[in-house]
Amino acid sequence: MLVKEFCNRRCILTSSGLLLVASGTFFILFFPIIFQDILHEELKLRPGSRSYDSWVSPPFPLAMDVYFFNWTNPEDITNHSTKPILEELGPYRFIEHPTKVDIEWHDANATVSYRKKSLYYFDEEGSNGSLDDVISSINIVAVSAAKRSKYWGYLKQKGVSLGLNVYEQKINVVKTAGELLFDGYEDNMVLMGKHMFDADEVPFDRVGWFYTRNNSADLIGHYNVHTGVEDIGMLGKMGEWNYKPRTDFFEGTCGMLNGSAGEFYPPGLSKERPIELFTPDMCRSLPLDFEEEVTIHGLKAYKYSGDRRAIDNGTLYPETACFSAGEIVPSGVLNISSCRFGTPVFVSFPHYYGADPFYLDQVEGLSPSKDKHQFYMSMEPTTSVPLDVAARLQLNIMIEPYENINLFSDVKRVFLPVLWFEQHVLMPSELAGEIGQALTIPSIVRLCGIAMVVFGALMLLWIPLERTFFRRRRVAGTIGTKDPAALNSVRSFALSNEKPLLGAGDKQKNGKATTATAIVLVDKLLEKPEKQPLPDRSQSPPSAEPESAPLIEGRNVTIVKA
C-alpha cells in the first residue's frame, strides 16, 4: 500500500512539474509574438474595430487657439529705416468637433476614402478677447493681385495698379477678428475678379483666412489612406489626396504624399526614423525628428518635433530645395504660394521659432519660445498612438516692391507675420491608463511563466531530494543504537552502497565471505565503545600479531585488536 501511494505521488509530481515547465517556457518564448499579433489586429482600421468609432469622431472635443498680430504702424511700410511693429492678440479659442463623411472602403487595396468636416464654436471663456476686436492686418487682396502680375507686361501691371486705385485698396485692412477668420468680409475687387477670372483662380466671394472651413467637407480635400489590414506597416499612410497619388504643387520628391494624415501610424516607432505628417493646408508633408523620451500619464513616449530640416527650403538641406517654389530665401519659412492660389503665403513656426535670425530682425514684437511655439508629437512607441500633440504654425505674407504698381513701388521686402494657430491635444488620463494596462500584459505573463518554470522544476526535483534527505536522516539516527532493526537497516544500506564500488574484475566466488565481512565492518563502525581505564604502561602487553581476514572478494583487511 505504501509503495502504491509513493508511486502515485511521484507520478503526480512529475507530470505536474513537466506541465508547469512546458507551459512556462511557452509563455516566456511565444506569448510576446501572440500579443503582438493580437495588438496588430486591434490597431487595424476596419468597420466595427476598436478604433473605428474614435476615428470617425474623436471622443473628446479639440481646441484651436488663434493669435493675431496687430500691425500698429502700416503707414511706415515705405520707410526703410522703420520695422513693422506687431502686437500679439489672443488667443481666440474655437472648439472643433470633427467627423468623417463620405466614407468608402476599398478591400482591393486595403484603403479607405473619406472627407473631413468640422464644426467650430467660439469659446468665449477660453479666449482672451472677443470676435469683435478690431485688428489691423495686411491687405491680402492687394498683395495677391500685385503678386499675380509680377511677371506680366508693363501695360497689364499698370492695369492692376489702376484697379487697386479705383477700388481704394490700401496696404492694410482694419477688420474684426471674426471677419478675418470664419465670417470673412466682402471686397469689391474680389467680386470683380470672380467675373473676370475662372472659378479656380478666384474660388471665394469673401475674404477670410478660415472662410468656408466651418461645416464644410470640401476645403481640405478628399483623403485615401491605408487601413493596415493587409500590411500593418502601411497603417495610416496616405494613398491619395484629391484622387491623385502626389500633389501638383511641388516638383520631384517634394510632391510625394509621405507620412500619415495624423491619426494612425504603423506600430513600432524608431528613434532613428522620423515620422511625417501630411498637412492639406500646406499641400505637403512635414517631417518630425526624434528629440527625446518623455512620460505622459505614466506612459513612456517618444517626442518628435519640428526642427530646422522641417522648415528648410534648400538653404541647409539640399534635398528640400524643391520646396522653395522659385523663391530663394533663408531657412525657416516654407513657400506654399502655389497651394494658396498664388497668394505669397509662407509658413513658419510661431514667432519664427527655429528660423534664420533674418526673419526675426525684420519686425518688432516677436519673442520665440520652445515651450510656447514648438511643433511636436509625443507618441507611445509600441502602438504609435499619439499621446500629446501640439500643432503650431504661423502664416506670413511676403511684401515686396513692384515697380509698375504704385501701391507697392516704394515698399521694402519683408515677411510680415499675420497670425499663428495652435491645436494642442492631450490624451485623457483614462484612455492613457487603458493603453498602459494593455501594454503590461506581456510583462505579467512573462513573470507568470518564470514562476511556473521555477515551481515545475521544484516539483520535478522533490522526489530525489526527499529520498536523499530522509536516507541521510535514517542513517544518522541509527548511530549509537543497539536496536537490531535499525542495525539491519544500516547493514542493508551499507551493502546497497558498497555494491557499485566492486569492480567487475575483482569479483570473488565466495560471496558469503564478502557479505559477512561487510556486516562485521558496519557493526564495528556502529558499535559505541565503552569507556576503559587507561592501560598501565609499566606492564606492556605482549604484542599481538596482526590478524588478516579476507574482506571483499579477494581484498585483505588488517584488523588490529586493542
pLDDT digits (tens, 9 = 90+) for 157-188: 999 999 999 988 999 999 999 999 999 999 98
pLDDT digits (tens, 9 = 90+) for 239-286: 999 999 999 888 888 889 999 998 899 999 999 999 999 999 899 999
Instruction: Give the number of other CB atoms < 10 A from CB of residue 147.
Output: 20
pLDDT at 518 over 80: no
Q: Classify 257 as helix, strand or coil.
A: coil
Q: Would you place residue 524 in the very low, low, confident or very high pLDDT band (cuts 50, 70, 90)? A: low
Query: What b/e sequence results for 168-181 when a residue is b if at least 16 CB atoms lie within 10 Å of its CB, and e otherwise?
Result: ebebbbebebbbbb
Distance of CA 206 to the CA centre of its chain: 42
The DSSP H or E segment spanning 459 is helix 441-477
pLDDT at 329 over 60: yes
Domain boundaries, the chain: 1-55+440-463, 61-427
Give me the mean pLDDT over the 521-531 stretch: 50
Q: Would you place residue 385 in the very low, low, confident or very high pLDDT band (cuts 50, 70, 90)? A: very high
* Residue spans of alpha helices (H) in 78-215: 140-148, 154-166, 177-178, 188-196
Cell digits for 510? 565466495
pLDDT at 527 over 90: no
**Range from 310-314, 421-425, 468-472, 530-534 that averages highest in pLDDT:** 421-425
Residue 562 pLDDT? 40
More confident residue, 73 or 51: 73
Chain position carrying cell 477670410: 208
Chain position carrying cell 520646396: 323
Do the Cβ atoms of 226 and 239 come closer than 8 Å? yes
Residue 270 pLDDT? 94
Residue 471 pLDDT? 67
Do the Cβ atoms of 393 and 349 come closer than 8 Å? yes
Residue 208 neighbours by CB under 8 Å, 6+ apart: 179, 180, 181, 182, 183, 184, 185
Instruction: Tell me if the pTM is above 0.95.
Output: no
Choose among 406, 311, 411: nearest CA to 362. Answer: 411
Do the Cβ atoms of 93 and 106 come closer than 8 Å? no
Average per-residue pLDDT for the chain: 84
Least confident of 100-104, 192-196, 491-495: 491-495
Instruction: Tell me the DSSP string of 323-353.
Output: GSTT----TT-EE-GGGGTT--EEEESGGGT
